[in-house]
């Protein structure tokens, strides 16, 4: 019963807890970005990932190090994808319910002209698979391989999706800047 | 009658669409990655091509925006 005894000795000053308390804000940001504002779901996903990470750590299959943050980010991503799949299955049987759900108000979109706000806005309009790749590789700084592992797609797919997404976002930002410059003139 | 899958007209190019052969190099240059010998053509071509210059500017803006998002995240984490 080595894992259990190790688990018991972890509380309260174990390295895993202190590591995750530092990593938690960035994991929450990642989850909130993935969930597009569903804060409850994001909190649940992060909590699940940290608990699952603890179990894996306690069983000795995971060690504290640079790879742990990426492992947790991957875990958050796969949990988000699982929740999406579950949602799809539920909604498939409830078409009437979907029709009855009111569309989110357009006014909630930030009117800020800052670059990052515009990028966040454009990011929400991207196809799901491209949005995930941008968040994981460009914002969370996961490697192509780590991103491919968490999305369960080949590295080449990650590269091509990222390239398409970057161009779509860059051209949209450029269009926005062009409009702003025209207005300023 | 044209084949249904045949495009009758090419996709219109926007003002910032780069030439196809510089697309990958422009991303590397804008990201500040080290360019390789394969990028020499792009490095010669971009200053002479208006569309590629605009595309490079657009891609630089994209990476600035990404950096801004990361900075915001770091500030939130610190506070």
| Per-residue pLDDT, A74 | 86
Q: Is A36 left (phi over 0), alpha (psi -120 to 50) or beta?
A: left
pLDDT in tens, chain A (185 residues): 445 555 555 555 678 888 888 888 888 888 888 888 788 888 888 888 888 888 888 887 777 777 788 888 888 888 888 887 776 665 555 554 445 444 444 433 343 357 788 888 888 888 988 999 999 999 888 889 988 988 889 999 999 999 999 999 998 888 776 655 555 44
Which residue of A25, A169, A171 is in closest CB contact with B14? A171
Whether residues B61 and A177 touch (CB distance < 8 A) is answered with yes
Q: Are B51 and B17 in contact (CB under 8 A)?
A: yes
Which residue of A25, A29, A169 is in closest CB contact with B62? A169
What are A63-78's pLDDT values in tens digits? 777 778 888 888 888 8
What are A72-104's pLDDT values in tens digits? 888 888 888 888 777 666 555 555 444 544 444
Q: Are A50 and A32 in contact (CB under 8 A)?
A: no
**In angstroms, what separates the C-alpha of B24 from chain A's closest C-alpha?**
8
Written as one string, the DSSP assignment of B44-61 is HHGGG-HHHHHHHHHHHH
What are B29-38's pLDDT values in tens digits? 998 887 777 7
Task: Kindly report the three-state secondary structure assignment for every residue of A114-135.
Answer: CHHHHHHHHHHHCCHHHHHHHH
**Rounded distance, CA A13 to CA B39, Å?**
51
Optimal mutation site among A119, A169, A174, interface B, most CBs of chain B within 10 A: A174
Q: Would you call B11 helix, strand, or coil by DSSP? A: coil
Q: Are B64 and A118 in contact (CB under 8 A)?
A: no
Alpha carbon A15 to its chain centroid, in Å, reads 24
Phi then psi for A12, rounded to 5 degrees? -105, 0
**Rounded distance, CA A30 to CA A134, Å?**
11
- Please, which residues have CB within 8 angstroms of residue B40's CB and are 6 or more apart in sequence? none
| Per-residue pLDDT, A11 | 53
Helices (H), A59-136: 66-92, 95-100, 115-125, 128-133
Whether residues B65 and A173 touch (CB distance < 8 A) is answered with yes
């Amino acid at each position: 019963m080595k894992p259990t005894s190790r688990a018991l000795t972890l509380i309260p000053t174990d390295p895993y807890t202190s590591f995750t308390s530092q990593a938690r804000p960035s994991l929450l940001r990642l989850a909130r970005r993935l969930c597009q504002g569903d804060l409850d779901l994001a909190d649940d996903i992060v909590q699940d990932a940290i608990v699952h990470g603890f179990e894996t750590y306690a069983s000795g299959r995971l060690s504290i190090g640079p790879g742990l943050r990426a492992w947790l980010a991957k875990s958050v991503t796969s949990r988000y994808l699982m929740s999406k799949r579950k949602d799809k299955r539920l909604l498939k049987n409830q078409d009437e319910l979907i029709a009855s759900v009111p569309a989110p108000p357009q006014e909630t979109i930030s009117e800020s002209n800052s670059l990052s706000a515009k990028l966040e806005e454009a990011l929400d309009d991207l196809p799901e698979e491209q949005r995930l790749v941008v968040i994981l590789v460009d914002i969370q700084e996961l490697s192509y391989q780590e991103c491919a592992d968490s999305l369960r797609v080949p590295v080449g797919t990650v590269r091509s999706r990222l390239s398409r997404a970057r161009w779509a976002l860059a051209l949209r930002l450029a269009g926005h800047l062009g409009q702003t410059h025209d207005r300023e003139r | 009658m044209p084949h249904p899958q045949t495009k009758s007209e090419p996709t219109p190019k926007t003002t910032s669409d780069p030439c196809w052969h510089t697309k990958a190099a422009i991303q590397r240059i804008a990201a500040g990655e080290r360019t390789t010998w394969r990028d020499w053509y792009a490095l010669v071509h971009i200053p002479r091509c208006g569309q590629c210059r605009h595309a490079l500017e657009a891609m630089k803006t994209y990476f600035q925006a990404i950096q801004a998002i990361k900075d915001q995240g770091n500030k939130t984490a610190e506070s």
